[in-house]
């Protein structure tokens, strides 16, 4: 690790995780959530999914997808899950695409199935707005680390 590298530590009181510069290692810092003092030991925090939250080589690349995913969800084929496919959230994307396709096919025979497409378009618009409103860290944590499928 270089001096500018980041490391992570978990607060023993509230179990929240935060990062710090390796150059600060060995010092003491107040936890940003509960304000208890935490010794900064350069450890790597790896989630249950095996993803290293602080040294993920695709972290910045994933965060850079936020704007595109938000715009896809709000304006371009969001009802078909395009924004979810773009982020790699395939289960939610397949569900949205399936419901929309069923709505389109059903809409050829009856009017009411088109409501399914409208519902999926509304959900994708809201999700696109949420993507754009989230901070980069929150976006990364929710959609890369926890792979949150909805909202």
Q: Could you tell me if 44 and 81 lie in one domain?
A: no
What residues make up the domain containing 91?
A: 60-144
Residue 151 lies in a domain: no
Q: Could you tell me if 80 and 66 lie in one domain?
A: yes
Number of domains within the chain: 2
Residue 118 lies in a domain: yes
Q: Could you tell me if 49 and 82 lie in one domain?
A: no
Q: Could you tell me if 69 and 109 lie in one domain?
A: yes
Q: Could you tell me if 39 and 68 lie in one domain?
A: no
Q: What pLDDT score was predicted for residue 55?
A: 65
Q: Could you tell me if 25 and 92 lie in one domain?
A: no
d(CA 25, CA 36): 17
Extract the residue ranges of the chain whose pLDDT is less than 50.
1-3, 42-44, 48
Q: Which residues pair with 43 in a beta bridge?
A: 8
Q: Could you tell me if 137 and 75 lie in one domain?
A: yes
Q: Could you tell me if 83 and 121 lie in one domain?
A: yes
Q: What pLDDT score was predicted for residue 3?
A: 44
Q: Could you tell me if 91 and 137 lie in one domain?
A: yes
67: exposed, middle or buried (C-beta count within 10 Å: 0-12, 13-18, 19+)?
exposed
Q: Could you tell me if 139 and 66 lie in one domain?
A: yes
**Residue 141, CA distances (Å) to 32, 53, 84, 135 in order:** 17, 8, 15, 10
Residue 78 lies in a domain: yes
Q: What pLDDT score was predicted for residue 40?
A: 66
Residue 42 lies in a domain: yes
d(CA 41, CA 31): 13
């Amino acid at each position: 690790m270089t001096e500018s590298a980041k490391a992570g530590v978990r607060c023993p009181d509230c179990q929240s995780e935060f990062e710090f510069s390796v150059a600060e290692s060995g010092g003491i810092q107040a936890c940003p959530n509960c304000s208890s003092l935490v010794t900064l030991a350069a450890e790597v925090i790896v989630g249950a999914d095996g993803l290293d939250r602080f040294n993920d080589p695709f972290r910045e690349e994933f965060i850079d997808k936020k704007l595109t995913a938000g715009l896809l969800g709000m304006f371009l084929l969001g009802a078909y899950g395009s924004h979810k496919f773009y982020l790699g959230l395939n289960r939610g994307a397949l569900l949205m695409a399936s419901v929309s396709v069923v709505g389109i096919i059903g809409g050829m025979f009856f009017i009411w199935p088109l409501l399914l497409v409208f519902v999926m378009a509304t959900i994708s618009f809201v999700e696109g707005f949420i993507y754009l409103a989230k901070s980069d860290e929150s976006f990364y944590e929710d959609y890369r680390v926890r792979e949150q499928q909805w909202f």
